């Protein structure tokens, strides 16, 4: 059964550094998402992507964040200048109606 | 935007008893209502979903009911087992598939 994959599984970075989180969505899906989950809290929507452009974004997704689909398979989330409060689990998901989640990248900003 | 309220936030039941988790939503255009189970440190996993053209759906010990008029939907787990212990999230899509909004989660503990 196809699955969403994400790399890396863990990322530790210094405050102010740029990070890129990578995802490979399920191949026939058309909608892609990034969510984040601060430890012990709810799953928060960041952004959705369809037809090679952002279709919706939350107030969390400010100018420090960007997404890209650089080729036919990868979907990336870039955080330009990380802050302490960016520490969280970041989940990618893809959908053809039902959203399936990747295993997540645990980001720790020191 | 869509607002999803979920309760209770925590729920403890004895093994074999039933568990019910309830959610309400605000956007009357919502037409898709998935439920996810998240075990500690793992990804949310879809366990059941329902679309607005039906009022109830069942899959073995899990069932979901939807009341579109009242804008609420519920997850029912019967004959609970210790492996049902996890955090359960309700969600809904709002208008279209651009965004899936999650409830705050219910931590279910099944006591052997």
3-class secondary structure for A66-92? EEECCCCCCEEEEECCCCHHHCEEEEE
Q: Is the pLDDT of residue B83 over 70?
A: yes
Q: Is B45 on the interface with A (CB under 8 A)?
A: yes
pLDDT, tens digit, for every residue of A28-77? 898 999 999 998 888 999 999 998 899 889 999 999 999 999 887 899 99
Best probe of the A interface among B7, B10, B43, by most A CBs < 10 A, is B43
Smallest Cα distance from B30 to chain A, Å = 13
Distance CA A101, CA B5 (A): 22
Task: Quote the percentage of chain B above a pLDDT of 90.
Answer: 77
Distance CA B93, CA B2 (A): 8
B19 vs B101, higher pLDDT: B19
Cβ separation B43–A98 shorter than 8 A: no
Q: Is A94 on the interface with B (CB under 8 A)?
A: no
pLDDT, tens digit, for every residue of A7-29? 999 999 999 999 999 999 998 89
pLDDT band at B71 (very low <50, low <70, confident <90, very high): very high
């Amino acid at each position: 059964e196809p699955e969403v994959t994400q790399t890396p599984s863990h990322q530790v970075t210094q405050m102010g550094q740029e990070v890129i989180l990578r995802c490979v969505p399920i191949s026939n899906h058309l909608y892609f998402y990034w969510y984040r989950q601060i430890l012990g809290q709810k799953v928060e929507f960041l952004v959705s992507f369809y037809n090679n452009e952002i279709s919706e974004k939350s107030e969390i997704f400010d100018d420090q964040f960007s997404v890209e689909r650089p080729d036919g398979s990868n979907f990336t989330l870039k955080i330009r200048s990380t802050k302490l409060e960016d520490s969280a689990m970041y989940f990618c998901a893809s959908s053809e109606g039902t959203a399936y989640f990747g295993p997540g990248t645990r980001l720790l900003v020191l | 935007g869509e607002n999803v309220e979920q309760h209770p936030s925590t729920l403890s039941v004895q093994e074999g008893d039933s568990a019910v988790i309830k959610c309400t939503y605000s956007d009357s255009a919502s037409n898709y209502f998935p439920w996810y189970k998240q075990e500690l440190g793992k990804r949310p996993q879809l366990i059941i979903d329902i679309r607005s053209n039906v009022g109830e759906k069942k899959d073995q010990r899990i069932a979901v009911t939807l009341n579109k008029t009242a804008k609420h939907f519920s997850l029912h787990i019967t004959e609970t087992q210790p492996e049902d212990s996890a955090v359960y999230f309700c969600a809904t899509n709002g208008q279209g598939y651009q965004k899936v909004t999650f409830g705050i989660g219910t931590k279910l503990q099944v006591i052997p």
